[in-house]
Amino acid sequence: MVTFTNGKQASMMPFYAMWRDALLILAATPLVYYALAILVAVQFFRKQRARPLPEYSPPVSLLKPVRGVDFGSYENFVSFCQQDYLEYEILFAVNDDRDPAVPLIQRIVEEFPERRIRLLVGAEHLGANRKVNKLAWLAREARHDVLVLTDGDVRVVPRYLREVVAPLADRKIGAVTSFYRAIAEKSLWAELEAVGASSDFFAGVLMAGWTEGIRFALGASIATTKEWLGKIGGFEVFADALADDYEVGQRIAKAGGEVVLSREAVWTMYPAQTLGSFWNHQVRWARTVRLCRPLSYVGLLFTQGLPWALLTAIVAPAKWIAGVYLVAYLILRFAMAWTVGIWGVRDEVLRRKAWLVPLYDAIHFVVWLASFGSNHIRWGNVEYVIRKGRMVLIRGRDRTEE
């Protein structure tokens, strides 16, 4: 049997083959990324776990901006009162005395009379980010030079302060920040969010450290000093910033300080949520990253193996090639999740729910696309537009904070 092909079809075939081969090469990029992230994670955690801590434990002021309570608030607050550390104070701040956290903090004060604990109510309005308003007040009230910032939904082990403060013995280090493990309520959406952080986001953090150094901080836990805070102008200078944790790390790095990752992870809470609240939070988080690090965010396309593996199924010249890509995605993606999130960060939610990783990857790609749709972000019923990294209120009462 003889098959005839017209000239136009024949001329198009090399063109199609060229683009098909280019797509197949690009589809291998996430696989290379996964492999590199595994190697970087092994190197980081092995080195950190073998490193002795400096003998450095100066007095510390723990700064805790708080809004409301969740399913683990009591245990979270108590964990900071049980630190194996000689001298430290805990400063809480809330926006008003009707905050549900107030009676809980008062209970903590009564239960731990040996601890120096203070509650500040009603921070001065400096900008749209009310968490930063409180941090600025807490920093002014702090007695000690070393400042440790943690969110209200964070829980720690007794050695936490020793771990995050000791690296500051090196005066070149301007901030120490920490990974966070998940404590999630029984909810698919809460567990998916936790799985995404430990299996994907933290790999990106490690790769950023390997390629360019850490030039940001993670909001769950940041240790720094008043000296470094003064070098960046204090919290007041970014009271309208969308991502206060990113601003702290970036400004310290620009001022010449090193930002380092602690080997000691903290825990953070993932309350049960609806599909709508999960979607809004994921898009807000993604949009925050895009607005803070636009070029890096675009590059995340080449770290997402699932859409590329599916694309190969469409364009691959043979089924076995598509199969190789899909199997390689599954093996390397789960290997990265295990190495970073389970072996490295020791996240128990990921250990139990690792099977959710491909589902998270599928949702994450859609979220990545959706994040380009607008520069608006929403907290509850409050909406802001981001202009030059600053939040401008569009509608609703200004109650923004993390």
- Average confidence (pLDDT) per 10 residues, the chain, 402 residues: 50 69 90 98 96 93 95 96 97 94 96 96 86 94 97 96 96 97 96 97 95 93 97 92 90 96 96 93 89 89 95 89 94 98 97 97 96 78 73 61 42
Q: In what order do the strands lie in the sheet with 154-155?
A: 154-155, 266-270, 180-184
The pLDDT score that the predictor gives to residue 21 is 81
Residue where a domain stops, chosen among 253, 273, 293: 273
- Whether 321 is covered by a domain: the verdict is yes
CA 365 to chain centre: 17
b/e 260-285 (16+ beta carbons within 10 angstroms → b): bbbbbbbbbbbbebeeeebbbbbbbb
Q: Please, which residues have CB within 8 angstroms of residue 187's CB and are 6 or more apart in sequence?
A: 270, 271, 272, 273
- Whether 120 is covered by a domain: the verdict is yes
- Whether 43 is covered by a domain: the verdict is yes
139 and 45 in a common domain: no
287 and 266 in a common domain: no
- Whether 359 is covered by a domain: the verdict is yes
243 and 167 in a common domain: yes
25 and 160 in a common domain: no
State how far the Cα of 316 lies from the Cα of 137, in Å rounded to an integer: 59
Q: Report the CATH number that the domain containing residue 237 is assigned in CATH.
A: 3.90.550.10
State how far the Cα of 273 lies from the Cα of 215, in Å rounded to an integer: 31
Phi-psi region of 85 (alpha: psi -120 to 50; beta: other; left: phi over 0): beta
State how far the Cα of 290 lies from the Cα of 114, in Å rounded to an integer: 45
Tokens at 292, concatenated: 């803070």
The pLDDT score that the predictor gives to residue 292 is 83
Phi and psi torsions of 387, nearest 5°: -125, 115
Phi and psi torsions of 313, nearest 5°: -65, -25
Give ∠ CA 110-116-122 in degrees, rounded to 5: 85
State how far the Cα of 78 lies from the Cα of 80, in Å rounded to an integer: 5
Distances (CA, A) of 325 to 34, 35, 328, 356, 366: 13, 14, 5, 20, 21
- Whether 233 is covered by a domain: the verdict is yes
State how far the Cα of 22 lies from the Cα of 232, in Å rounded to an integer: 45
284 and 265 in a common domain: no
- Whether 298 is covered by a domain: the verdict is yes
389 and 300 in a common domain: yes
336 and 229 in a common domain: no
Q: What is the pLDDT of residues 230-289, one digit of tens each?
A: 999 999 998 888 889 999 999 999 999 999 999 999 999 999 999 999 998 999 889 888
73 and 47 in a common domain: no
- Whether 188 is covered by a domain: the verdict is no
Residue where a domain stops, chosen among 206, 240, 273: 273
The pLDDT score that the predictor gives to residue 291 is 84
State how far the Cα of 167 lies from the Cα of 176, in Å rounded to an integer: 7
The pLDDT score that the predictor gives to residue 272 is 95
What total of structural domains would you count in the chain? 2
Instruction: Give the residue numbers spanning the domain of 235.
Output: 53-179+218-273
Phi and psi torsions of 9, nearest 5°: -65, -40
State how far the Cα of 132 lies from the Cα of 236, in Å rounded to an integer: 7
State how far the Cα of 55 lies from the Cα of 58, in Å rounded to an integer: 10
Distances (CA, A) of 3 to 9, 12, 130, 223: 12, 17, 72, 72
State how far the Cα of 198 lies from the Cα of 194, in Å rounded to an integer: 6
327 and 309 in a common domain: yes
- Whether 206 is covered by a domain: the verdict is no
Distances (CA, A) of 119 to 61, 106, 108, 360: 13, 8, 11, 39
69 and 121 in a common domain: yes
Residue where a domain stops, chosen among 273, 297, 316: 273
Q: What is the pLDDT of residues 85-119, one digit of tens each?
A: 999 999 999 998 899 999 999 999 999 999 999 99
308 and 244 in a common domain: no
384 and 334 in a common domain: yes
Neighbours of 223 (CB within 10 A): 28
